[in-house]
Amino acid sequence: MLLPGTHAPESCRSGIVLFLTVTTLVLGKSPIWAEQRSAEDESEIVDRLSEVPGLTVVAENDAPEGFRHFVLEYEQPADHAAPGEQVFSQRLALLHRGLDRPTVLHTTGYDVVTEPFRSEPARLVDGNQVSTEQRFFGSSRPDPADWSDLDIRQAATDHHRLIRALGDIYEEEWISTGASKGGMTSVYHRRFYPGDLDGTVAYVAPNDADNQEDSAYLEFFGNVGTDPRCRQDLAALQRESLERRGDLVARYEERAAEQGWTFGGSLPSADAAFELIVLDTPWHFWQFQTQERCADIPDGDSSTTEIAEFLGDVYGWYRTHDEAIEPYVPYYYQAASQLGYPSVPTDHIDDLLEYPGLFRAASYLPEGVGTPEFDAEAMSDIDQWVRTRGERLLFVDGEFDPWGAESFRVQRGGERDSARFVAPRANHGADIEQLAPQDRAAATAMVRRWAGLKGVPGAPPGHVPELDNPGELARDAP
């Protein structure tokens, strides 16, 4: 599956960038012919997109000055080994900055954000951004769906075909990025098609290389944070919640009836859903909260209402009914078939649990999808490739993020030009901006160098409020 990309080789591109940089320094602006060509190309961008076989321009949205934003669809084979058979439309979003700019291939790992926004790497390089919806998520699902077509190689080939399709339009450097499952997806693409891209920035990307060995997660929960009392209080809250199961489940069922939520399609009942909420609360606390919230943890003297409100605030009562799970079924299928799934400590509450083995990806799969056979080699292969062969990979993790307990590891620097940085006290929202100053400068320099901007004077452009928001990358993994 290793096919050549359509953009120029790195050696050629670096020479072009050097020439234009020197010309700019001498003349004070780009050559006249370049300005004319750029203006002509920009005015024809819709026509050029429409000429790409299999690509449809669905809509153009309002965007800040200097940008254009399009919603696109691209026809993909359901099975890349059978390209002449079933197809589906993969939904995309394009934030167009300029044909002379680098391009960032972004994914959430789930569905696609169709409103204009910009990922951190796209801001750092002032580039274009192509955002992809992953196969089987959102509307990007074959009909009828053969779930065996949902695997990491098929998804990587979706990205590969897309780059080949757009490479004749966006000819400068390409960098991929994503957070959480989006970061994982970006790494998998690089493993199968390492020549497609000039670099990858993977934020808070889990690496469950051995799904049977989860001691790193258990160790994480025994040591996370700087306040042992906080960890003890969360464990005590789990036990207190399960001891008040009857009252809390009754409240949950009442709320579900009011909201029209149902159970039985994935999880068997509100009672089982409640047990998952309790099991998952410490995980979600550290994934999304800060240590300052430790003071808010209810104790044995708290009312049941206070406990219910805390569980709802930290985890969310809305997450575990059928309607909430349905959009994420493709994730749970992938976790059950290839990605793996983490573990959480239960020794302190085992005597109160009524659903043994509930905390696993397959628990969320509806009957119509079924439970796939787990491929234990898939993540082991990815992990080995990253450690021994991967090049131009940048990993950014959060110190207090449970997903980072099993993270990707790379040898920093050297010929493979890769690094991993950890943002102090950060959670699942960690990014380059949150790194220590020295690490932030090093990471920014890596991204800009991969984008062909090493010799380009000036600091990275500032924020554009309409595009750069705290929710720029979907990190809300189920």
Cα separation, 1 vs 8, whole angstroms: 19
Lowest mean pLDDT segment, chosen from 220-224, 269-273, 278-282, 473-477:
473-477
What is residue 96's predicted lDDT score, i.e. its pLDDT? Answer: 98
Residue 12 predicted with pLDDT over 70: no
Q: Which residues, in sequence order, are bridge partners of residue 423?
A: 398
Partners of 413 in beta bridges: 418
> Does the pLDDT of residue 475 top 70, yes or no?
no
pLDDT-wise least confident of 77-81, 116-120, 208-212, 371-375: 208-212
pLDDT tens per residue across span 279-296: 999 999 999 999 999 999
pLDDT in tens, 36-74: 445 555 669 999 999 999 999 999 999 999 999 999 999
pLDDT at 104 over 50: yes
Rounded distance, CA 74 to CA 54, Å?
Answer: 5
Task: Output the pLDDT for position 460.
Answer: 72
* CA 361, chain centre distance (Å): 18
Domain positions in the chain = 10-210+387-450, 215-364
* pLDDT one-digit tens code per residue, 105-153: 999 999 999 999 999 999 999 999 999 999 999 999 999 999 999 999 9
pLDDT on residue 21:
34
The model carries a pTM of 0.89
CATH code of 10-210+387-450, in short, is 3.40.50.1820
Q: Which of 115-119, 298-302, 438-442, 452-456 is predicted least confidently?
A: 452-456
**So what's the pLDDT on residue 16?**
30
Identify the pLDDT of residue 476: 52
> Token pair for residue 313?
């605030």
Q: Which amino acid is at 144?
A: P
Instruction: Render pLDDT for 163-199 as a digit per residue (tens, 0 to 9).
Output: 999 999 999 999 999 999 999 999 999 999 999 999 9
Give the integer Cα–Cα distance in Å for 305 and 247: 10
CA distance 271 to 251: 11
- The DSSP line for 197-263 is -SEEEEES-B--S-TT--HHHHHHHHH-SS-HHHHHHHHHHHHHHHHTHHHHHHHHHHHHHHHT---
Give the pLDDT confidence score for residue 42 in this predicted structure: 65
Distance CA(13)–CA(134), nearest Å, equals: 30
Per-residue confidence (pLDDT) for residue 18, from 0 to 100: 31
Q: Between 243 and 4, whose confidence is greater? A: 243
Strand partners, 199: 175
Q: How confident is the model at residue 267, as a pLDDT? A: 97
Instruction: Please determine, for residue 474, whether its predicted confidence score (pLDDT) is greater than 50.
Output: no
Q: Residue 336 to residues 192, 319, 366, 439: CA-CA distances in angstroms?
A: 21, 19, 13, 35
H or E element: which one contains 182?
helix 181-192
What local confidence, expressed as pLDDT, does residue 455 receive? 72
Name the percent of the chain lying above pLDDT 70: 88
**Helix H or strand E encompassing 13:** helix 10-27
For 350-406, the pLDDT digits (tens) are 999 999 999 999 999 999 998 999 999 999 999 999 999 999 999 999 999 999 999
Give per-residue pLDDT as tens, 390-441. 999 999 999 999 999 999 999 877 889 999 999 999 999 999 999 999 999 9
**Residue 362, helix vs strand vs coil:** helix
Specify the pLDDT at position 459: 65
CA 416 to chain centre: 23
3-state secondary structure 322-363: HHHHHHHHHHHHHHHHHHCCCCCCCCCCHHHCCCCCCCCHHH
* pLDDT value, residue 462: 79
